[in-house]
Structure 1
Amino acid sequence: MRIRLAHGLAIILLVASLGAAQGPNSSGSKDTQLAIPIQKAGESIAKPHANPKHHEPYQIGTASWYGDYFEGRPTASGEPYDMYDLTAAHPTLPLGSLVRVTNLANGRRVYVRINDRGPIVPGRIIDLSYGAAQTLNFKDKGLQRVRLDLVSARRNQPEQIAMLQPIAY
């Protein structure tokens, strides 16, 4: 009888100890514990952006240019048109905005300041100054497919834009 009692007590203790080792959430409940990552010095938890330099173009379409007929006439900004300045006319961008224009045929780029409204011909997205068209190498062609990238939608001064013009590239 003592042996049976000893076996019974051993089994009860064994079962009790196995249940205690499981912990409080082992009863089948769906509670989960959250693991909070510990950030070490100089280590980032967030993953870097896949391609931080890539961004969508503002517009892609046909550009034209206007030249000496408008020379000296007032633009929408009030300043006189100078065909050799790197400026452009756009229908909706705020005057003074800075736009990078890329010629899709040859890859050449130029930064222009929006100082006028246009183009007035349907199907065109921007009217460039003669100087900008010359930099993009399409002044003899008249029209060119371009990509517009908005650099700044605030008022930019010509000297700020000049600093961005290393050489057309």
Structure 2
Amino acid sequence: MRKSITLFFLIAIIGLATSQSSIVEKLKASLHKTSVSRDSVKTVKDTVRQEPHLKLKIFKKDANASYYHDKFNGRRTASGDKFDNNSYTAAHRKLPFGTKLKVTNQASGKSIIVEVTDRGPFSRGREIDLTRRGFMEIAKNKGIGIMVVTIEEVID
């Protein structure tokens, strides 16, 4: 009696394993058949929106970018907006407020879209200041404070 029960459970487990593997094989096959363009796919790790319809104009290559210190949280920016280090904004010396920029880290290839809401940076050799959140999303090494980026203007 005990052997027949064990044999029954063994057969049931083997049957489940083979049916699960065939289901997995069918799912893999269906995934390979579908063709999805890279621009329309957004993975969980990819926090940058892929927007293929954006028109971009290169503003500056090999620019140095840094990020705001947390002490500026809640203060007013030069445009009058309240600064939030968790948003996607930036500071630039000359670009008009409201200008949208695509900032791409040249080391990692990651990019974000930010809006100019403040003036700065006032450190020599730096072109743009990003919010901490935006900076960390595209940073290859989270311990750095400066990175080399390409800045592109988003044209409406």
Residue 113 of structure 2 is aligned to residue 106 of structure 1: no
Could you state the TM-score of these two structures normalised by the residue count of structure 1?
0.56
Q: Aligned pair in 2 of structure 1 residues 93, 66: CA closer, same or farther (>3 Å)?
A: same
The aligned counterpart of 2:68 is 66
Identity %: 38
Q: Aligned residue for 1:76?
A: 78
Q: Unaligned 5+ residue runs, structure 2?
A: 1-53
Q: Pick from 76, 92, 99 the counterpart of residue 97 of structure 1.
A: 99
The residue correspondences of 1:141-152 to structure 2 (distance < 5 A) are 141-152=144-155
* CA apart distance, 1:80: 1.0
Which protein is bigger by CA-based radius of gyration? 1
Structural mapping, 1:6-155, within 5 Å: 57-60=58-61, 61-137=63-139, 139-152=142-155
How far off is 1:134 after superposition?
Answer: 1.4
Number of paired residues? 101
Show the counterpart of 1:41: none
Cα gap change, 1:70 to 1:149, in 2 (>3 Å): same
- Given that 1:97 and 1:113 are in contact with CA atoms closer than 8 Å, whether structure 2 keeps it comes out as yes
**Aligned equivalents of 1:89, 1:54: Cα separation in 2:** 21
1:88 aligned counterpart, secondary structure: strand
Q: Which residue of 2 aligns with 1:31?
A: none
Determine the C-alpha separation between the residues in 2 that align with 1:115 and 1:54. Answer: 21
Matched AA of 2:64:
T
Q: TM-score, normalised by structure 2?
A: 0.60
Deviation at 1:139, TM superposition (A): 4.6
Q: Separation in 1 of the partners of 2:82 and 2:130?
A: 15
Deviation at 1:131, TM superposition (A): 1.0
Higher helix proportion: 2
Report the secondary structure of 1:58's partner residue. strand
Q: 1:54 to 1:83 in 2, by over 3 A?
A: closer
Deviating above 4 A after TM superposition, structure 1's stretches of 4 or more consecutive aligned residues are 53-56
Aligned equivalents of 1:139 and 1:133: distance in 2?
9
- What is the letter of the counterpart of residue 59 of structure 2? Y
Deviations 1:5-42 (A, max 9, x none): xxxxxxxxxxxxxxxxxxxxxxxxxxxxxxxxxxxxxx
Whole-angstrom distance in 2 between the partners of 1:145 and 1:64: 9
SS at match of 1:115: strand
What CA RMSD, in Å, does the superposition of the two structures yield over aligned residues? 2.0
SS of 2:127 mapped into structure 1: strand
